[in-house]
Each structure stands twice: as structure tokens, then as C-alpha cells.
Structure 1
């Protein structure tokens, strides 16, 4: 089942948002208009109702006599369009400005509600075929309920006006729906077009044309879409570099394996070309043994490199007493350096622990120490030190060797990097690339500082146990 595209979702969201906003505006306009009209009507009813009640209360304590006086008749005549009803405390209609149908229960209901509330109130009622809004004022003489004044005003015109307004708003909303959806489609297309272009360009990129500087076009919009394009191009550049490194790595591995295998092949070919003496066969086997060792060593380094560059998150670390490990390496280094009359020294802080794989870390450190000893002239000195610095364990491998040329220093941890003659201290194989991978797998960092003729210092920072898990 095909999922709904982003374009469709944008159209829906845009249309729904605009519809909701339009409905809110129209509803607010309708209810504000309704409130204004009824408020104006209520003000008129209140003014006239209070006036009639005041006049009546001044006339007499006898409601029936007061209702017959000319003043009330004149007061009714002064209220054109108003429906005035006067009721006594028994609910009887004493006087009204219009003829009242005896079967009409409207005023009975209003009278009963007046008895309950004992305060002025508004009610909408249907009197015959006319919709009326009534304002009822209770009359109290000497703190006794004497009756009520009911002032009514037709609201048919208001209701018809509101119905017409509602119809206009609904029709307007329906008419606006078409351009709203059309506008949503246009804006969605405009917003999605750069993404569609990038998607099409990305589909055309593969391993064959990745090296042809293929990139997605930058829409220059100054927003998140431009940021996405820049991110894609940055990703493509990293992939391009990775592919190039892998191709170079495969070529370098093939070259490293080709030499010993070719030598082995030639030796065997020569050996079987004719009968040889026992000593000659032993010589051929000895050369074959050396060549096979070179092949095995290269393959072993490749496997170590593959492990070191694997996701460090998959490594199940063990707790390592780094102080004991460095002390052991110092002893091994002293034995390795004895024949060259090189001194091995250094201060090792005790009880420093980290998390990781001890065998991998041991071999990586041994690789560094071996390089330091191998390319330090006699007499020389190699220093191996360890101490804490904040949440890090700091390891220093320092020698007084021939140093590394500045032009080669940034590249010494690359696989199969071929340095200048001054950089023969680190050879040209996989050793330092493996060291870098192991240190990264332990969430650490490594850097080298060197001066030609004065030596090299390798600095390694590894997180302590508490820092490793955070």
C-alpha cells in the first residue's frame, strides 16, 4: 500500500489550518454581531421597562386603580413597537398595549418565573407567530410583591438578519474552499520541488559516478531545505573520500600480498624446474617460509584493522588496570631495547582503571613502543608514562628518534601511507592505522608531535571507567 506523500500531507494540513482559521473568524464575527444586536435590544427594553415600573410605583398602592390611570395609557403610547403587559400579584393581566389571547401561556410562565427569581430578567418567547424578547421587572410596594411589568420587543428582524448573515458566511466559506485547496497545492508544490529535485539527483548517484563530483543542487532558499542540500553534499563528499580510501586500501593490500606471493611462486617454480640438492631445497623452503610469514602478517594486520574500525558500540568492554598494563609494557620494552643500548623509563601512576579489551590495547601500545625503539639511534631513550588528567587517563610514548617530517605528520595514521625518508620511523604498513582504530574503539584520542632529529611524542587520552559510560 502506497503511503501518502509529503505533498499530499502539506495540502491537507494547509487546507485544514486555513479552514479552521476561516471558521473561527466567521464564527467570531457571527456571534459578535448577534451579541451587539441583542445587547442593543436589551438596552432599549431595560430603559423602557424601568421607566414604566417607576411611573407605576409613584401612582398608587392599588395596582388595579393605578393601571387604569391615563398616565399608564399615555406611557404605553410613548412606546411604539413595544409590547407592554402589566400583571398583578395573582398573575392576572391588568392592562396591555395589545390584545392578549386568553389561551396564551407565555405570560403565565413569565409570571411564575418572576415569583421564583424576584429580580429583572430577559426571556425569548413566541407570542402567536411573532418572536419576542421580553424584559420582566417585578414590582414591590412596601416590600410586598405587587405584580410585574413585562416589556416585549419583536426580534424577527434580528433573527432574519442573523440567518441571512449565517447563509452569507457559509456560502463565502464554500466559495473560498476551492482557491484554498488550490493555494495549498501550489504552496506544497513550491515547498516540495527542491526536495523532489534532490531526490531525483540522489537516485542517479551510484558507486560508478560517485567520483565524478556528483552533487545535489543547492536551492539557495536560506532555510532548512538549503541546509538539507548542504548536508547531503557533505555526506556525499565523505562517502566519496571513503570509497577512494577503500579502493586505495584494496590496491595497497593487493600490492603488499603480491610481492611475497610472487616471490614464493618464483622460488617454487625454480625449485621444481629440475632436480636440486637437499641444501638447495632447504634454501627454497626457507625463503618460502619467510614469504608466507609476510603474507600471514599482512592478513593478520588487515583483520586487526577491520576489528579496530568496527563500531565501538558493539565492543563488550572489560575493566582494565591500565597501571599494571603500562608497567608490564615497560618491562617488555626494556628487554626489547637492551640490545640497542636504549634506556626505557617513565612514571606510572597507580590504580588507574579503564574499560576496554586488554589484548587489543596491549598490542596497539606494543606497536608504538616497537616503533619508538626500532627507530631511535643508539644511545637513546624511550619514555613511557601514565597519569590521570580530569576524567582521562593520559599515556605518553616519547623517544629521542629521528622524528617525522612536518609534511608527513598529519598522515601518519592513514593506512599504507608512504612517508618521506624522515618518516621511516613509522614505516609504511598498517601499524599506526591499527593503533588509531583501537584507540577510537576505546573512545579515546591519539595525537603525535615530532621534530626532525629530536624525536616524537605520542599522546593518548582514554576515558576512565566512570567517564566511559557517560
Structure 2
């Protein structure tokens, strides 16, 4: 891991994420520290004031019982063990004459004339004295007793400031440690979090450099978004591989299937040229036109399939009644079916409307019905049914033909694939591929089932239209 950390630090995105993580972490710690300091300072201030108030009450009680000598004795005996440090104590008579005074020498710099004195009996006031040099302060509580005497008790804030200064030093050290931990943690978290992105980058870079699409992003252990992104990229690469393999297979099939008509074209043309017979030359030209039309139809169908599969096929969607569409298609093949004594039965629920391209969907039905009539023996039956199920229109085309062998069933949708039984029948091998591509371009699905010797059943599922 250590060898990869410099890469993580050189990565601009990783560095930004690490700094953001560290900044948020330090800001959160700083906010917590400031809040703690403020609460501690307020607590110490409240503690000092409570201590002064408690001492004031105790000294007032001592004065009321023993007068100024009692107050002096209370101060001298130091009964306030819970009040560490020296105290400022002053007692002024009703005429503001000084009756009792006790103040450490180092506090003489405070100006006592700034103290606010209460006028009413039982009234208590607070005052804070400072020297203006930014040093400690003197907090004084004053109370007017029942006989008019003024009792003042105070203490310096030097111990509180010293404690807070030490606490600030500890906090600064803690913040420095937090900063180091935040930076190290930010780098570690960023390096770990961006590992799937780096794996994705390396995979894509390898594909760009080598041109091979068999590389895959290493699977992520967690189910997070980056892991899902890697899985989606792998699925995309799998699909690209399948498309490329399909294109190679299609090109091979096209080359193989075009070789025969092109060879026939050349043979027919050469024979016509060498014959010198105008009648034979005219017949040869007609055969050449027929072969050219067949090749042209193959290429156009391949282009339609590619457009449908890539989503570039222009579809003019409109609400189309399925019953009318089926009847129009049946009318096209009714004569061919009668010539072979094949019965075409239709059973379409009324009111079924599908949002499709009328021409393209008629092309789908024509391909299915053409196959059914073509492979059904004389005296057989073709049945077309349509009904609504689970919010979709389900259309089935069944025949009583020879069926499709199980080993050929998964391949019937492949381009230019023709089963052994269909080799003797003239065709391009693209009809079912076009059916699947067009149906899926409309957001539908198509499936096939077959029992050899019994017949085949093709099922199309299309979304129903919201407009009846």
C-alpha cells in the first residue's frame, strides 16, 4: 500500500477529497474544542461567583453575631476551607466609615473607588475591577446589611485564568494531533475509497491502449455506488463483446451467403456472354436482377436490424387496433394459405390498442405468418390469438409444422441463421432477427417455444396504449 500512496497524493481528485475530509474533521474538532472551552470558562466563572456569594453570606452572619471582631475572627480562623486563595474583605459603616479591611498587598493596584455600592438593605451588587494591563481581575460582591453596614467580599481571577491558560495549551496540542490524524486519515480514506475508480481507470486505459475488450474491472467486495459502477462497466463490456462477436458472425454469414449469389451472378453473366443467343441473354439478365434484388433485400434487412438494435430506427408510433393489424396481415397470406389448404384462424380480443409503428409491426406479423405458412404442411393450421394480460397485449402465432429441434431453438433469433430443415426453403435467415429487433425497439419482448413434430409457438408482448 505504501508504494501507491504517492500516486494517491499526486491525484488531484484524491488530494482534494483528502483536504476536504481533513478540513471537515478539523473544523468539527475545533467547534467541539471551542464549545468545551466556553462551557469550562462559564463553569469556572459560575463556581467563583458561587464561592464569593457563599463567603459573603457566611461573613455577614459572623458580623451580625459578633460584629467586626467576629468577622475578623471568622476570617482569621479560615473556616472557609472550600475557598482557596486570599480574599478581599471590606466592611463600611452606615456613614461609609471603614470598619474592617483585608486585602493582599499585590491587589493594591486595583481602584476600589470603582466599586458599585448598593443603597437598600439586603441589596447585592457585583463589580469587576481591572488594572487595564490585561492582567487578572478582581470580582467583588457587595451587600447592604440590615443596620446599613456595607460588606464587600471579592477574589482575584488569577487562578481561573491560569487554569484556562493551561487548558488552552492542552487544546492547542490536541488540535495539532487532530490535524495530523485528519490529514493521515483523509489520505487513507481517499486512497481506499478511490480504489474502485483507479481500477476502472486502469481497465479503460488498458482497453484504449491494447484495443482488447476482454479486460474487466475487478469486482468490488461492497455493494456501494462505485462497486455498482464497476459492475455496470463490466456488463457494458460484456455486451460490447457480444455485439462485436455478433457483428463478426454476421459478417462471416454475409460473406458466406453473398458468395453464392455473386458466384451465380458471375456464372449467369459469363454463360450469357459466351452463348451469343439474345433469348438466353435476356433470361440471364432477368436472373441477375432477381439475384441482385435478393442481395439488396438482405443488406436492407441487416441495416433495419442494426438500426432497431441500436435505437436509431425511426418509429412513427400511433395507437393501432391490434385486430385490424392482424386482419390486414392475414389478408396478404390468405391466397398462399388456400393454395396449400392451410387454415388461418384468428382470435383477437376487441379493444386491444397498441402504441406502435403500424408499418414496422405489420412487418413483424408478416414475417411470423410467412414462416408459419411456409413451414406448415398442406392441410395444416395456423392460429393467431391476441389478448390482454398484466397490462400488456400478448399476441401468439402457432402453427402445426415440423417444429424446431431443441438444439436450434436458442439460435433462431441469430442473424442469417437457418436451421437444417430450412436450408431447402428459399429465404435470407433474417426474418426472426428482424422480428426480435423491432419488437424490442417498441419496448416489447418476443419468445418462442416448440415441440418437434407438433409445431411452433411465437409469443409477442407489447405495452397497451392509454388511448382506446
Q: Is structure 2 residue 259 aligned with structure 1 residue 264?
A: no
Task: Give me the CA root mean square deviation.
Answer: 3.7
Q: Which residue of 1 aligns with 2:239?
A: 238
Which has the larger displacement, 149-158 or 372-381? Answer: 149-158
Q: Is the 8 A contact 1:201 1:216 kept in 2?
A: yes
- CA gap 1:301/1:158 in 2 versus in 1, 3 angstroms: same
Q: Is the 8 A contact 1:326 1:386 kept in 2?
A: no
Q: Is the 8 A contact 2:307 2:313 kept in 1?
A: no
2 CA distance for matches of 1:390 and 1:90?
A: 103
Q: Is the 8 A contact 2:298 2:428 kept in 1?
A: no
Q: Is structure 2 residue 253 aligned with structure 1 residue 248?
A: no
Q: Is the 8 A contact 1:320 1:353 kept in 2?
A: yes
Q: Is structure 2 residue 41 aligned with structure 1 residue 34?
A: yes
Q: Which residue of 2 aligns with 1:106?
A: 114
- CA gap 1:123/1:174 in 2 versus in 1, 3 angstroms: farther
The equivalences for 1:137-176 within 5 A come to 138-139=143-144, 141=146, 146=148, 149-174=151-176
Q: Which residue of 2 aligns with 1:125?
A: 129
Q: Deviations over 1:321-367 (max 9, x none)?
A: 22221222233333331111111112221222121210000111111
1 CA distance for matches of 2:280 and 2:397?
A: 45
- CA gap 1:254/1:182 in 2 versus in 1, 3 angstroms: same
Q: Which residue of 1 aligns with 2:345?
A: 345
Q: Which residue of 2 aligns with 1:184?
A: 186
Q: Which residue of 2 aligns with 1:454?
A: 454
The equivalences for 1:205-220 within 5 A come to 205-206=207-208, 210=212, 213-218=214-219
Q: Is structure 2 residue 63 aligned with structure 1 residue 51?
A: no
- CA gap 1:205/1:368 in 2 versus in 1, 3 angstroms: same
User: Aligned to 1:134, which of 125, 134, 139?
Assistant: 139
Q: Deviations over 1:180-227 (max 9, x none)?
A: 43453344335445543442232121596536x433445767866655
Q: Is the 8 A contact 2:123 2:144 kept in 1?
A: no
Unaligned runs of 5+ in 2: 1-9
Q: Which residue of 1 aligns with 2:5?
A: none
CA-CA distance at 1:369 after TM superposition = 0.6
Which has the larger displacement, 333-342 or 426-435? Answer: 426-435
Q: Is the 8 A contact 2:402 2:452 kept in 1?
A: yes
CA-CA distance at 1:115 after TM superposition = 6.7
1 CA distance for matches of 2:45 and 2:110?
A: 29
Q: Deviations over 1:270-308 (max 9, x none)?
A: 323x46122111121121121112112112212321332
TM-score, normalising length from structure 2?
0.82
Q: Which residue of 2 aligns with 1:62?
A: none
The equivalences for 1:56-455 within 5 A come to 56=63, 58=64, 69-77=68-76, 78=78, 81-86=86-91, 95-98=100-103, 104-108=112-116, 111=117, 124-126=128-130, 131-132=136-137, 134=139, 136=141, 138-139=143-144, 141=146, 146=148, 149-174=151-176, 177-178=179-180, 180-193=182-195, 195-206=197-208, 210=212, 213-218=214-219, 228-272=229-273, 274=274, 276-311=276-311, 315-421=315-421, 429-455=429-455
Q: Is the 8 A contact 1:122 1:133 kept in 2?
A: no
1 CA distance for matches of 2:263 and 2:375?
A: 29
Q: Is the 8 A contact 1:125 1:131 kept in 2?
A: no
2 CA distance for matches of 1:424 and 1:83?
A: 121
Aligned-partner SS, 2:387: strand
- CA gap 1:123/1:441 in 2 versus in 1, 3 angstroms: farther
CA-CA distance at 1:447 after TM superposition = 1.0
Q: Is the 8 A contact 2:111 2:129 kept in 1?
A: no
Q: Is the 8 A contact 1:342 1:379 kept in 2?
A: yes
Aligned-partner SS, 1:249: helix
Which has the larger displacement, 217-226 or 248-257? Answer: 217-226
TM-score, normalising length from structure 1?
0.82
CA-CA distance at 1:399 after TM superposition = 1.0
Which has the larger displacement, 372-381 or 32-41? Answer: 32-41
Q: Is the 8 A contact 1:318 1:356 kept in 2?
A: yes
Q: Is the 8 A contact 1:308 1:438 kept in 2?
A: yes
